[in-house]
């Protein structure tokens, strides 16, 4: 008998305008000691399945059809008191963001002991002992001291270990892990995946991992179930699904994952999704507005952007006395150059100072020391706002989060027009609007989009709006700070293709910041690697990926999930 069995599950969210079906006729089984992956893009219904199993659907969601069998016993529709004896005791759950899934006001011990005492008939001291051994099991050093600490005293990876300890502390038979490593850095992700694999092997639990990341699937799962808009499109052993998928959606989804092993001209699109390849209208710089008033090729300088000994400090301990102040060196004597028309990639884990470098270059932060030279002029030496604005116009930034980087109260046309108006790049309002329409056309949204508000667009479309806004000042230099990390793979492929096309047509110079090595490999000409605020290696992309010189770079490359080698094995 399978440990967990889902039969004909259907989840609906009734609303005034009819009911939305989030999950349709899902069937699967899970054995003990097995790791099943559920993969799909956002909106596929992956998390809904996990919530439905535990009876934790957000109202008004209901499981309208189907059965959940745990050890052959039907557990859906149980009264809440009985369900509570299953949650945590027989089925544990791990959440995505370790920073928010622990109660900030309680020590780790209080949270563990409470959970243990509810499910296992333990006394206070016994529960305490058990809690410490749980922390030890998930690899937290000095568990007897650390247990007294509060969640904010742990790093992200350590917190996820605590979350895992909490889900495992009552010895459940099944673990549901909802995007357990999405919020973590690659090196931490590797450790957590290792830990989960080890725990499954040692305790024999059955685990379901929900993820959008094919890399995670290939690393850890025995079997995979692929979902698309509420339907299961394919289920099978990992090697089969990744190496030789039957369904066209699976095939195109896998091909859209940026390859780490070689560089390709363009990103393959997920053709299965309708309108995936919104045609992009090519731009001829010779007669286009975007090409006007630019001295193409006329630059006398070898480098368009040079950063020299850049340094940035944040005060961590304030004090009236200079000697007692403490600083964090976010950027520590970083130097690099970017040639006109070149794309430089900046790679590093969170906290390595990548984004700080971007902000220093475009003037959001003032450097503590060092120079930013743009086309021969040291920007840090400029005094007046007017002088700075001349250069500000020439460099633009695209941010990571498409939801918070657009003003929700402005129409899209005004968002894109704002920089044109500010820098007085057009003579009349009519001209401004014509330019805006044209720009929206070029990024594949169509001029009609201008009348709408940002919330009417999806994440990928919003990122297109950000790109149109960045282009509106006719920039020469574009800084992209993780432009696709908040997007699904299929959308990521579209956005990266768009950026590549625009870069070629407009001969843009780019600084491309990302933690995602495969993406970097596809997009960048040269790569610089940062760690703890320092630049550790800089090389041509292909050289860096083939023969990394620095130990840390090699380490990062090794951790990079290699999805495509899996099928070849």
Terminal-to-terminal C-alpha distance of the chain = 32
207 near another protein, rule: CB under 8 A: no
Q: Which residue has the tokens 């069937």?
A: 27
Q: What are phi and psi of 513, to 5 degrees?
A: -100, 130
d(CA 491, CA 277): 10
Among left, alpha and beta (phi > 0; psi -120 to 50; other), residue 387 is alpha
Q: Which of 154, 85, 377, 129 lies closest to 137 in space, CA to CA? A: 129
Contacts 24+ apart (CB under 8 A), 232-237: 232/25, 232/26, 232/27, 232/28, 235/28
Shortest distance, CB of residue 125 to another protein, whole angstroms? 20
Residue 477 contacts residue 508 (beta carbons within 8 Å): yes
Residues 6+ apart with CB under 8 A from 542: 263
Q: Contacts with another protein in 57-86 (CB under 8 A)?
A: 80, 84-86
Q: What are phi and psi of 184, to 5 degrees?
A: -110, 160
Closer CB to another protein, 167 or 396, in the complex: 167
Site string for another protein, 153-182 (x = CB under 8 A): x---------x--xx--x------------
Closer CB to another protein, 51 or 484, in the complex: 51
Binder among 20, 56, 390, 448 for another protein (CB under 8 A) = 56
Q: What are phi and psi of 290, to 5 degrees?
A: -65, -20
For 77-152, list the strands marked E by DSSP.
91-94
Binder among 13, 122, 150, 368 for another protein (CB under 8 A) = 150
Closer CB to another protein, 106 or 458, in the complex: 106
3-state secondary structure of 55: coil
Residue 489 contacts residue 212 (beta carbons within 8 Å): yes
d(CA 496, CA 463): 11
Number of residues that bind another protein (CB under 8 A): 33
Shortest distance, CB of residue 563 to another protein, whole angstroms? 29
Q: How many helices (H) and strands (E) does the chain have?
A: 20, 20
Shortest distance, CB of residue 75 to another protein, whole angstroms? 13
Q: Which residue has the tokens 């370790």?
A: 98
Shortest distance, CB of residue 526 to another protein, whole angstroms? 39
Closer CB to another protein, 318 or 386, in the complex: 318
Closer CB to another protein, 54 or 188, in the complex: 54
Binder among 54, 113, 210, 217 for another protein (CB under 8 A) = 54
Shortest distance, CB of residue 87 to another protein, whole angstroms? 4
Closer CB to another protein, 206 or 341, in the complex: 206
Shortest distance, CB of residue 170 to another protein, whole angstroms? 8
Q: Contacts with another protein in 75-134 (CB under 8 A)?
A: 80, 84-89, 92-93, 95-97, 100-107, 114-115, 118-119
Site string for another protein, 478-507 (x = CB under 8 A): ------------------------------
- Site residues, another protein (CB under 8 A): 54, 56, 80, 84-89, 92-93, 95-97, 100-107, 114-115, 118-119, 150, 152-153, 163, 166-167, 170
């Amino acid at each position: 008998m399978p440990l967990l069995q889902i039969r004909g599950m259907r989840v609906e969210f009734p609303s005034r305008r009819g009911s939305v079906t989030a999950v349709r006729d899902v069937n699967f089984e899970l054995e003990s000691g097995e790791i099943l992956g559920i993969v799909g893009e956002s909106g596929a219904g992956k998390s809904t399945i996990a919530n439905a199993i535990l009876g934790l659907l957000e109202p008004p969601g209901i499981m309208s059809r189907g059965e959940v069998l745990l050890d052959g016993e039907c557990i859906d529709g149980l009264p809440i008191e009985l369900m509570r004896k299953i949650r945590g005791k027989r089925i544990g759950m791990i959440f995505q963001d370790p920073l928010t899934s622990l109660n900030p006001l309680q020590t780790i011990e209080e949270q563990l002991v409470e959970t243990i005492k509810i499910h296992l008939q333990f006394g206070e001291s016994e529960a305490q002992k058990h809690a410490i051994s749980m922390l030890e099991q998930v690899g937290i050093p000095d568990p007897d001291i650390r247990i007294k600490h509060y969640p904010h005293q742990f790093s992200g990876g350590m917190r996820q270990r605590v979350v895992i300890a909490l889900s495992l502390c009552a010895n459940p038979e099944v673990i549901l892990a909802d995007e357990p490593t999405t919020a973590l850095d690659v090196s931490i992700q590797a450790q957590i995946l290792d830990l989960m694999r080890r725990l499954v092997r040692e305790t024999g639990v059955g685990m379901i991992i929900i993820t959008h990341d094919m890399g995670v699937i290939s690393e850890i799962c025995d079997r995979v179930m692929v979902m698309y808009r509420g339907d299961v499109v394919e289920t099978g052993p990992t090697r089969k699904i990744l190496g030789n998928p039957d369904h066209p959606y699976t095939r195109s989804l896998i091909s859209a994952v940026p390859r780490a092993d070689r560089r390709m001209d363009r990103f393959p699109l997920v053709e299965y999704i309708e309108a995936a390849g919104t045609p992009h209208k090519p731009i001829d710089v010779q007669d286009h507005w975007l090409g006007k008033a630019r001295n193409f090729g006329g630059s006398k300088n070898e480098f368009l952007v040079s950063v020299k000994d850049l340094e940035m400090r944040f005060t961590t301990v304030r004090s009236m006395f200079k000697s007692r102040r403490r600083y964090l060196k976010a950027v520590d004597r970083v130097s690099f150059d970017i040639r006109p028309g070149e794309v430089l990639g900046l790679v590093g884990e969170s906290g390595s100072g990548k984004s700080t470098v971007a902000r220093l270059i475009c003037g959001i932060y003032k450097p503590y020391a060092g120079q930013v030279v743009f086309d021969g002029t040291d920007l840090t030496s400029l005094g007046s706002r007017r002088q700075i604005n001349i250069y500000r116009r020439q460099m633009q930034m695209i941010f990571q989060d498409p939801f918070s980087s657009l003003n929700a109260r402005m129409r899209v046309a005004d968002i894109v027009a704002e920089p044109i108006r500010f820098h007085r790049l057009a003579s009349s309002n009519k001209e401004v609007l014509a330019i805006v329409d044209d720009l929206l056309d070029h990024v594949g949204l169509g001029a009609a989009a201008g009348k709408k508000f940002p919330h009417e667009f999806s994440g990928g479309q919003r990122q297109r709006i950000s790109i149109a806004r960045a282009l509106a000042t006719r920039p020469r230099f574009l800084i992209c700070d993780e432009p696709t990390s908040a997007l699904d793979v299929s959308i990521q492929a579209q956005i990266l293709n768009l950026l590549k096309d625009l870069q070629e047509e407009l001969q843009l110079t780019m600084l491309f910041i990302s933690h995602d090595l495969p993406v970097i490999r596809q997009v960048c000409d040269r790569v610089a690697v940062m760690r703890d605020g320092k630049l550790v290696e800089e090389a041509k992309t292909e050289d860096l990926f083939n023969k990394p010189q620095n130990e840390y770079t090699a380490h990062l490359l090794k951790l990079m999930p290699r999805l495509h080698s899996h099928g070849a094995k």
